[in-house]
Structures are given as structure tokens and as C-alpha cells.
Structure 1
Amino acid sequence: MTSPGLRERKKQDTRRALAEATLRLAVESGLSAVTVEQIAAAADVSYRTFFNHFSSKEEALLLPEGRDDGRFARRLAEQDPALPPLEAGRAALQEELATLEADRSAWQRRLAVIAAEPQLVPRLVELSSANEREMTRALAARTGLDAERELYPALLAAVLGCAVRVTLTHWCAADSRQPLTDLFSSALDAVAAGLPAPPPSSS
């Protein structure tokens, strides 16, 4: 994989600064009280520059890496064609989750902001649905199925998306230092095994 050029690195740095400023201000004052002007000023960029990277302050909070509608499809296409669809989807998303591993504190704060501001939930659902539609199209292309007529691509995308949401929330909330990627794999292992009931608690 080639390294990004200087221009792209500068864009990434600006996007990161905006996302960090959004999170910091949202933790301090609540996202509803924060303006785009304040975020841009905190990141030392212009108001116009903010909208070169994010469509709204909600997107800057919920999608700190920015929107990239083709990222999952590209990563899925890089997987071994011999892998079953579930395993290929697992591998593609593991790459995504690995980028979050070093930023657990930020994700803990991000989820705390979401929990404190219920009006963010519809936007979060909208973004999750968009991600699942993208995964559905990519999985349909990989399996040769029609996403409009066949159940499997959408069902697998929903399972993968749900596993990401559940494991991310657990990873942020739990005291365990188990890596996010391991939690995600454990969740998919349980799904692949048919969600067997856990053994009775000894307590």
C-alpha cells in the first residue's frame, strides 16, 4: 500500500483536528450548544474549511475519519476469493476496527456524548443504515447475488453491522482490556456457531 502524499496528509491532519475539536467541545458543553464556527476556530481553520471535510457537526462527531462510501467494498475486494462471505466480511471490518484500537478514550467520550444527547440517535441510525447498504452492495457483488431480490447480502450486512455496534459499545464500557478486534471476532464466532446459549452462571 502506498503512503499518502503531502496534500492528502495535510487533509487528514485537518480532518483529525476538526474531529478532535468537535469531540472536545461536545464533551465540555454538549454538541447541541456547539457551533461549527466554534469548532473551526478551535481547530484553527476557516468555517468554509470545515465543510470541505464534514457535512455537519454531527458527522464530525460520529464519523471522525470522514465519509468514505467505498472503503468497505475496497477492503472486501482485497480478501482471498476462497474465503466464505462471512469470513471475508470479518477480515475487511477487522482492518477498520484496528484503526480504533489506539483511540479507546476518544470513543468512550464520543459514546458518552451520544448517550447524553438522544437527538443524536436518529443521525447515528441513519449513518449505520447507510453503512449497511454499502456493505449489502459489496457483499452482493462478491457473492454474485442480486441485492434487491436475494435476502443473504442484506442479512449478512446487518449481522456484521450489529456485531460492530455491540462490540464497540462493550469495548468502550467494559473494564477488560481485550482488543476490539478480538471482541468482534468472538461475536462473529458466536453467530457462526448458531448463538449457543452460554453455560449457567456459577454464582
Structure 2
Amino acid sequence: MVWDVLNVIGTIAFAMSGALVALQVKYDIIGAYVLGLITAFGGGAIRNLFTGIPIIELWQQTTLFIVALITITIVILLPNKAVKLLTKWSFFDSIGLSAFAVQGAMYAQSMNLPLFAVMFSAAITGAGGGMVRDVLAQQRPIVLRQEVYLLWAIFAGFIIGMDWLTEPYHLYIVFVITLIMRGISHRFNWSLPTRPVQNPKEDL
């Protein structure tokens, strides 16, 4: 039950996020559908490749594909004011990250993979689709910026991979906590440290 709920939540959120990015960078309708679908399913596809799951399983999610297509269509039909308002938020992206991070960790744990693999699965499932979306939209991927983003997916993977959770509702709690922490870090512009490298030409 938890798996299905998070799957639907993540698919809707990331399909909407991808479509909004496509409209923001002025892609056409086909571009909106492409970015929406890639954002919604890209992370899971990459995860399956790394964990040895046949890629054909991706195409067996007919219901989720229909949900994603309906979501993208709704975004395309929204008034311009609504689209501009929604693009100012990272809310849908945060929901998708949190839902798919938990779902990805659950997937790896169900295969009895080690802790590191569970954390990796959470990270790539939660952020993989968004990374591909940003590359196709010719933007710097959020996950590679200073902004705290991928860390929260890794956090969810660590909590689940440690087998500390004993009840299904605990997974919802991890989802909510991950979402809240992502929201707080975005609201207050938390960032990870960077190491600036001086351009050699500047020494001349």
C-alpha cells in the first residue's frame, strides 16, 4: 500500500514539475510531455539499470503512465498566470524527491541490498529524473548545485536501510520529514560547502 501511494504521489509531482520546466523554457507541447515523462520515470529507469532489473518493467506501469499523461495535460491547459505562479515554487519537485527517495529505498531493501545500495537507490530514484530533465532543459541540475537537495534523499535511504522502521506508517513519516527538510533548506537557502578553484589565467 505504501509503495503504491508513494508511486502515485511521486509520479504526479514529477510529471507536473517536468511539464512546468518545459513551459518555462518555452518548449512546445511535445517537449512538455517528454520532460514530464522523463522526470516522472527517469529516476526509476536509471535505478533499475544499476540494480540489474530488466528495463522492460518500466513499460509495465500502464496506470502510472496514464496518470502522468493526464497530469501533464492539465499543466499544459493551465492559464499563464497559474503556470508562472507554480514555476516560482519548488514544491512539486520536493514532493517528487521525497516520495521517490523513500520508494527507491524500499525497492532496494526488498532486494536485500546493502546499506550503501539502499542509499544510492533512494538518491538516484529521487533525483535521477530531475537531473535528466534539467539537462534536456539546458539548465544546471539542481542536484549538482550548492543547494541542499540530494542529501535529503540520501538521508531517507539511510533511515530505511538501517532497518529502524517497524511499521508501514513509519515510511510515511520519513516521507514527510524528508519533504519538510527539503522545504526548510530551500526556504532558508541552505547550501553545501564548495571548493572554488582559481582560473589559471587570473594568476597571470
TM-score (norm 1): 0.37
Work out which structure has the larger RCO, using CA pairs closer than 8 Å and 6 or more positions apart in sequence.
Answer: 2
TM (normalized to structure 2)?
Answer: 0.37
Report the structure, 1 or 2, having the larger helix content: 2
